[in-house]
Amino acid sequence: MKYWSTTIMLFFITSLSAQVEWMSMNEALQAQKDEPKKIFADFYTDWCGPCKAMDKNTFAHPEVAKYINMHYYPVKFNAEGTEKVFYKDFEYTNPNFKPNLKGRRNAQHFFANALKVSAYPTVVFFDEEANVISPVVGYKTPEQLELYLKMIATGAYKELTTQEAWKNYQSKFESTF
């Protein structure tokens, strides 16, 4: 009985420590100035079911959380929220936000619009100088997201300049999550 209690407690502690350490976009941009690192931004909305499922199933996965925290500044961004974002010498806001629609479809934040994010969830990868590398649209399982996380973190994406190169990369990729 003592063995099982210890095992359960260790599992609980491990699962608690394996959480994505989300920050705001402004915090990530500031952190990049001190220590250059890529940004992983999760664009979501409050009403989006697949966004909630990705939080529960993908971002809660211990290996996903660990990898994101290690290789990226992780950003959680409400694409219909009111956060002010200072990006590339411009302030992005959501002046059309309607408080009475909170939790339902609302006006899109100008930052999401500027990045051409139009479906949720969408994750957007930024390089160490905050330039957009690529958006990845739609719900992803831990294994599906792993492909993109590792391709971007290692810089392999720079070599994938053709559809054939991308297909080859995908076929040779082996998941460890």
Q: Does the structure show a pLDDT above 80 at 57?
A: yes
pLDDT of residue 9 exceeding 70 = no
Half-sphere exposure of 148 (CA within 13 A, CB side): 23
pLDDT of 17 > 80? The answer is no
Reported as a single tens digit per residue, the pLDDT across 107-116 is 999 999 999 9
pTM for this prediction: 0.88
Tell me the pLDDT tens digit for each residue of 39-52: 999 999 999 999 99
End-to-end Cα separation, the chain, in angstroms: 30
8 Å CB contact between 121 and 87: no
Check whether 70 has a pLDDT greater than 60: yes
Residues whose CB falls within 8 Å of the CB of residue 117, separated by 6 or more in sequence, listed in order: 43, 79, 124, 135
pLDDT (tens digit per residue) in 135-170: 999 999 999 999 999 999 999 999 999 999 999 999
